[in-house]
Amino acid sequence: MSYKVLIANRGEIALRAMRACKELDIKTVAVYSTADKDLKHLKFADESVCIGPPSPSLSYLNAAAILSAAELTEVDGIYPGYGFLAEDANFAEMCEKSGFKFIGPSSEIIKKMGDKITAKTLAEESGIQIVPGYKGEIPKSEDEVKKIVNKIGYPIMIKATAGGGGRGMRMVKDESALFNSLEITIQEAQSAFGNGTVYLEKFIENPRHVEVQVVGDGKGQAIHLGTRDCSMQRKHQKIIEEAPALDINELALKETLEACVSLCKKIKYEGVGTIEFLYENNEFYFIEMNTRIQVEHPVTEMITGYDLVKAQLRIALGMEIELIQNEIDFKGHAIECRINAEDPITFQPSPGLITKMHTPGGFGIRYDSHIYGGYRVPPYYDSLLSKVITLANTRESAIKRMLSALDEFFIQGIKTNHSLHQDVLRDKTFAENKHTINYLEKEFLPNNYE
């Protein structure tokens, strides 16, 4: 049987998906905006279709244009990647209604998990620990609101149930800012997401970001592929990720992994997904589930040998997960550095022509990227250029190997955050694995760059 997939994305993830399709003998259709006609994966696709001008809203976010391309090329499935339409329940539903397989969970599950209150409720019902808080309707009476918040304890976080991408949340330190912040968050959520429903959470002051990779077959079977630590972040954007997360309380880890699998079994989750937690004082607190492949998926692939993108495609074709839980062999430690087209100090995007470059390679080094010498980085999209991933027996060796890989790696013509990575990799707090989600912005950058 021949199967044909439209890859509804660009950049490194489009190339990653194309490689997986080839290994499975799946035919591919690439779609691109007029700014992206030189993308690497277009050269390897069986067919390619221009879907519009550079602006994402007119191309990669344009559901009608993508579905027209799918009809024109008579594909069976649509691969969403991450970002753009990957977690858009309406798009998934349009695919379903037009007779295309959306490669991921059903639109119904995407909708449920995209609504943070529903997701928290489902997680809690499966035994996952959630951030303590309040997810009922916010009472009209100010006294009642005060009572609820005092019970949670300041500081709190006001979060929009429909929020995403770091938007739709506000921290409140004390009662003086409470009602004003509530009003603003509700108004903003209403105008940004068309849904003004908010809920309250305890603000977790200095946690690590630890997430669990899951895979479900859509029929009630599910497994986990362990944890990743993505605490090195700036403005909620991950910069360095690793697998597994180290120095985690054993009992809390065991219970959390089991509860994550229970959740996936209960909702008959289909495809790959990530359950994200804040981790502090030996406790996991659920924040959200991402119903798609993540940028940092390679670190999990490296320590398990399990190809997550191929798993997405195979499951969409109705095949089994391939592995049962106790067959998964976690080996070594993997680290990923995200090389972005941006100034390493001001973080201003730096698009433009790559005049010359050299990529790293060698034992235990993986390089995932769509860029090449002579490629012009367009200014319209995410600044991610390359992911450098290293695998070694220990965390310490993986860091050493990354430093050596980065020594070989250069990109000329545009600015990148390459030097920031080198500095972080040599940092003592990072080496000791003592950094939290606040470390880069609050300590490392002020101490080293200001």
- Contacts to ligand ADP by CB under 6 A: 131, 157, 163-166, 201, 203-204, 209, 236, 276, 278, 287-288, 437
DSSP 139: P
Query: In whole angstroms, what is the distance from residue 274 CA to residue 312 CA?
Result: 13
Query: In whole angstroms, what is the distance from residue 139 CA to residue 280 CA?
Result: 30
- Which one, 163 or 364, has the nearer CB to ligand ADP? 163
Set 16, 170, 292, 314: catalytic member: 292
> Would you give the distance in Å from CA 239 to the centre of its chain?
12
- Which one, 209 or 314, has the nearer CB to ligand ADP? 209
Query: In whole angstroms, what is the distance from residue 368 CA to residue 298 CA?
Result: 9
Please give the backbone phi and psi of residue 67, each rounded to the nearest 5 degrees, phi first: -70, -35
Active site residue 292: yes
Query: In whole angstroms, what is the distance from residue 449 CA to residue 447 CA?
Result: 6
Task: Please choose, from the candidates 31, 28, 9, 10, the residue with its C-alpha nearest in 3D space to the C-alpha of residue 19.
Answer: 28
Contacts (Cβ under 8 Å, ≥6 apart) of 388 = 336, 337, 339, 360, 365, 366, 367, 402, 405, 406, 409
Query: In whole angstroms, what is the distance from residue 198 CA to residue 167 CA?
Result: 12
- Which one, 157 or 392, has the nearer CB to ligand ADP? 157
- Which one, 276 or 322, has the nearer CB to ligand ADP? 276
Contacts (Cβ under 8 Å, ≥6 apart) of 398 = 242, 332, 333, 334, 335, 364, 390, 391, 392
- Which one, 198 or 357, has the nearer CB to ligand ADP? 198
Residues annotated catalytic, as ranges:
292
